[in-house]
Structure 1
Amino acid sequence: MGYGQILHQHRNEEDPVHLNVGGVRHEVDPNTLLRFPHTRLARLLRCQSEAAILELCDDYSPAEKEYYFDRNPRVFLCVLNFYHTGRIHMMEEFCVFSFSQEIEYWGIQEIHLSPCCGNWYHERKEYIEDRDWDVRSDDQQHPSFDSSFEELSALDKDLAKFKGAWCAEVRSYVWLRLEDPGHSRASKVIAVASLGLVLTSIVAMCVHSMPEFQRVDDNERPIEDPVLAVLEEICIACFSAEFIIRFIVAPSRRKFLGNPLNIIDVASILPFYATLALETADEDAAEENEDLENVGKVVQVLRLMRVLRILKLARHSIGLRALGATVRHSYHEVGLLLLFLSVGISIFSALIYFAEKEEEHTDLGTIPSGWWWATITMTTVGYGDTCPVTLAGKLVATLCIVCGLLVVALPITIIFNKFSKYYQRNKAMEGQCITKPERQDPELPYYNIRDLFTEAAYPFIGSLAFRNSASSAGDDTDASSLQDIETGSLANAEV
């Protein structure tokens, strides 16, 4: 009789069940396993054929009536304990996801976790899921805002796309110097120059709001200061050239246009060209019709959009990108916060209206005016420009303040925890200097703007400390110890 033709023979219900899990043999009372009929072992005992048995285990020995499972034998001890106690306990050394997969294989649900282990299990699982935000984002083909390690890994993938493309050598040469500030001296100069242009443009925009730099034309319309206008044109020309070059040499133009940092670049450049086009159209049509009399207001709005250039700093700051990632991954909590606020504002604006509508000297005689009051009250801002005057209105205000504290505090706590976890993770990854992943391209070092600044600043700080110590008679610190401190600081910065 062939192995595949042997049918599962019914055995005595009192005979123990022989289980071999990862090479460790167990004998279990079948009645113990049948206590939980939904589990894998209980279903295994109800099988009537060998084919059905082999669907639930990895191998079966008809002669010895032994079931073999190629699973973790240590986790199976927790599974056996579950059949005896009805609760499953977890050892701390187990990975929560590996343990979750194991108990799922054995047909045990997480609701059977013992309270002493359940809280720790779910907290640990949530922590690891939060730590792997960026991994899930990459799987969903969303841009990652994570630390420089993943960014450089993505840079390696981009370099691989240049193979076989047109002008691959030239494009990869330019791409590296634009994307990796630590690649070479030229890339460092480009990164510092780009950062300087961004800061210059932001300062010029702020200075333009000062009365000393505001100009008007013959028609009393505001115009740009000539010096600031030239400075603006130089910055825009550099921004435009940088964006066009990045677009031309990009290994994947679709991915390039979908990158949030590049979208920010476009949003910071377009207002200038839109303003220029509207001003030109206004000058051409000013003498023929008056339909464009409001173009000046549109131009002013577009000029204000130049503030978006501040976001260009995110290209040079890992911290800002980490902040963006945290906000992006907290959209559920932010939506919950807005929902709570909307419900509270709607309720308390109606209540304050009915409490104050009979009062003549009140600013809360309509529900829309109550929206503003409820918003600043629930968020505990309290400008004081509008306030209730009746006793009923003050009672409603008290209730609104208390509810605002509760409604705002709950989602804010969740968001804060996500911020804290993300920053701790980012800091820990940057601190793991020894365990940095190996690069496919050895000529790409792990650098960012902050590292370059630190490397340049530490020798200067160390020299100042040495001079101060030399001029101080009561200072016991000698030059050799200061040199050791400086050397240690430089070593930490380079690592």
Structure 2
Amino acid sequence: MEGSKERIVLNIGGVRYETYSSTLQTFPGTKLCNLTEPHAPSIYDYDPATKEFFFDRSAEIFGYVLNYYRTKHFHCPIDICRSVLEEELAFWEINETQLAPCCWLKLNSKEVQPEDFNVWDENEQTDDQCLIVQTERRDFSWRARWQPKIWDIFEKPFSSFSAKCLAFVSLLFIVGIVIIFCEETKAQFEFFTANFTSVGYSEVSHNDHAPYYHQAAYLLHLELFCVLWFTFEFSVRFCVCPDKKLFFQNPLNVVDFLSLFPVYIELFVAGQIQGMPSLGLWLGFVRIVYLLKLLKISKLIETPLILRVLCYTFKSILREICILLMILAFETLFFGSLFFYGELLGSHPSYRGELYFTDILICFWWALITLTTVGYGDIIPLTTAGQVMAALAAVFGMLTIIIPIPIFLVKFKSYYDIAIFKQRLKRSKKL
């Protein structure tokens, strides 16, 4: 009894705390509990004159730690940094899971992990660092001197006046090739409606008067002119690229590479395309990559903040997105099957009308459209059982879509706050 009433004095960063030894023995195995051992003065910083243990730690947080030993409920101040709290708890050998639920929720609602904060700096380590490494080498050839300059002209639109002019010219060619692509689709649609539909989608028409696939010559020449510019631009960028592997890991560079082939293939098989009419349509389909080149406009924006925030947000919730897709796939199969058999079993024997589906795959299509709350109306339930299944599918689909939205919003706000802070930090450094 006398041992439990023994008092122990702790000097934490200049602030004295006095408590009973029995209080420190509440959680055996921790550092504060070890202070009650007889050999503690020889292990820790103990002052025999004042009879107190000294620790050069945060006195503010220790007050909450000592209160945890007294009440067995660990609370923390709202304005504390999560990293500092974890460091102090690790020093006092206390598990952070002991944090009270009320404080845990408040602390995690404003939590920003260090790895989330540093992701911006990691993603800014681009090919420029490779160029710096190369220029640091003792190579005084013309390539070593001109490579960084050419790379900046083609990759950094705001680095110089020449880079701005080149970016503007490239943008004109991209807009031009998109307009040409839209004009070429008219001839493809006319050929398809006039030839394919009349012969039941056969590859070669047996009708002697069937129209030939013919693309306007001026459109093909204009497209070739644009692609020649893209070929020149891609070749220069590839030659001066500091790292060829990283170059092709960029999706925009892959799009640039694929966009070079359609017009060359069409020119190469110009004489044989009449024997393979579907080839012209497939080449038109491949030309969709021209539209993806419009994404390069983002380079003309000096700081595409929203795009970067969205990218990092989707990466951080990729696991949740996969789980959501799995749930959606299960619901599609489940409600599609229920709708299929509900319509069949719910039909009256005297019913002579035709249902809106022919097999269960069409029902899966209906289930997916209903779960995503699109509801085209091409397939509708005719029986009472089918209508009940449709109502359940609509309700579950709405819940499936609504529930993940808060997760996305929380992550987006977290990354957006980090991005804003980074921008302000850069501006303050420039000043």
TM-score normalized with structure 1 length: 0.70
> Matched residues in 2 for 1:44 and 1:224: separation?
89
The verdict on how the C-alpha distance between 1:175 and 1:337 changes in structure 2, with shifts beyond 3 A counting, is: same
CA-CA distance at 1:380 after TM superposition = 0.9
**Counterpart residue number, 2:70:** 84
> What does 1:53-202 align with in structure 2 at a 5 Å threshold?
53=43, 59=45, 66-125=52-111, 128-129=112-113, 133=116, 135-136=118-119, 144=123, 151=124, 154=126, 157-161=129-133, 162-164=135-137, 166=139, 167-202=143-178
The verdict on how the C-alpha distance between 1:428 and 1:238 changes in structure 2, with shifts beyond 3 A counting, is: farther
Assess if the C-alpha contact under 8 Å between 2:259 and 2:289 holds in 1. Answer: yes
The verdict on how the C-alpha distance between 1:12 and 1:326 changes in structure 2, with shifts beyond 3 A counting, is: closer
Match of 1:210, SS state, is helix
Match of 2:10, SS state, is strand
Report whether the alignment pairs 1:406 with 2:390.
Answer: no
Q: 1:30 aligns with which of 21, 37, 54?
A: 21
CA-CA distance at 1:45 after TM superposition = 4.2
Assess if the C-alpha contact under 8 Å between 1:18 and 1:65 holds in 2. Answer: yes
> What does 1:428-447 align with in structure 2 at a 5 Å threshold?
429-430=422-423, 432=424, 435-438=427-430
Match of 2:17, SS state, is strand
Q: 1:368 aligns with which of 341, 361, 382?
A: 361
Q: 1:331 aligns with which of 310, 318, 323?
A: 318
CA-CA distance at 1:38 after TM superposition = 4.6
Percent identity over the alignment is 28
Match of 1:357, SS state, is helix
Assess if the C-alpha contact under 8 Å between 1:215 and 1:225 holds in 2. Answer: no
Match of 1:111, SS state, is helix
Assess if the C-alpha contact under 8 Å between 1:341 and 1:408 holds in 2. Answer: no
Q: 2:254 aligns with which of 266, 291, 298?
A: 266
CA-CA distance at 1:50 after TM superposition = 8.2
Structure 2, unaligned runs of 5 or more:
193-208, 348-352
CA-CA distance at 1:156 after TM superposition = 6.0
> Matched residues in 1 for 2:38 and 2:333: separation?
60
Q: How big is the alpha-carbon RMSD for the aligned residues of Structure 1 and Structure 2?
A: 3.6
The verdict on how the C-alpha distance between 1:306 and 1:154 changes in structure 2, with shifts beyond 3 A counting, is: closer
Q: Output the amino acid matched with 2:129.
A: K
Q: Output the amino acid matched with 1:198.
A: I
> Matched residues in 2 for 1:329 and 1:387: separation?
38
Assess if the C-alpha contact under 8 Å between 2:371 and 2:398 holds in 1. Answer: yes
Q: Output the amino acid matched with 1:192.
A: F
**Counterpart residue number, 2:205:** none
The verdict on how the C-alpha distance between 1:311 and 1:280 changes in structure 2, with shifts beyond 3 A counting, is: same
The verdict on how the C-alpha distance between 1:32 and 1:329 changes in structure 2, with shifts beyond 3 A counting, is: same
Residue correspondences, number:
401
The verdict on how the C-alpha distance between 1:50 and 1:254 changes in structure 2, with shifts beyond 3 A counting, is: farther
> Matched residues in 1 for 2:388 and 2:88: separation?
56
Structure 1, unaligned runs of 5 or more:
1-10, 145-150, 439-494
Assess if the C-alpha contact under 8 Å between 1:96 and 1:124 holds in 2. Answer: no
> Matched residues in 2 for 1:219 and 1:279: separation?
23
The verdict on how the C-alpha distance between 1:321 and 1:195 changes in structure 2, with shifts beyond 3 A counting, is: farther
TM-score normalized with structure 2 length: 0.79
Report whether the alignment pairs 1:392 with 2:392.
Answer: no
Deviations 1:378-415 (A, max 9, x none): 11111110011111111111111111111111113322
Match of 1:102, SS state, is helix
Assess if the C-alpha contact under 8 Å between 1:272 and 1:303 holds in 2. Answer: no
Q: Output the amino acid matched with 1:78.
A: Y
Match of 1:20, SS state, is strand
**Counterpart residue number, 1:340:** 327
Q: Output the amino acid matched with 1:174.
A: I
**Counterpart residue number, 2:290:** 306
Assess if the C-alpha contact under 8 Å between 1:208 and 1:214 holds in 2. Answer: no
**Counterpart residue number, 2:199:** none
Report whether the alignment pairs 1:210 with 2:210.
Answer: no
Match of 1:352, SS state, is helix
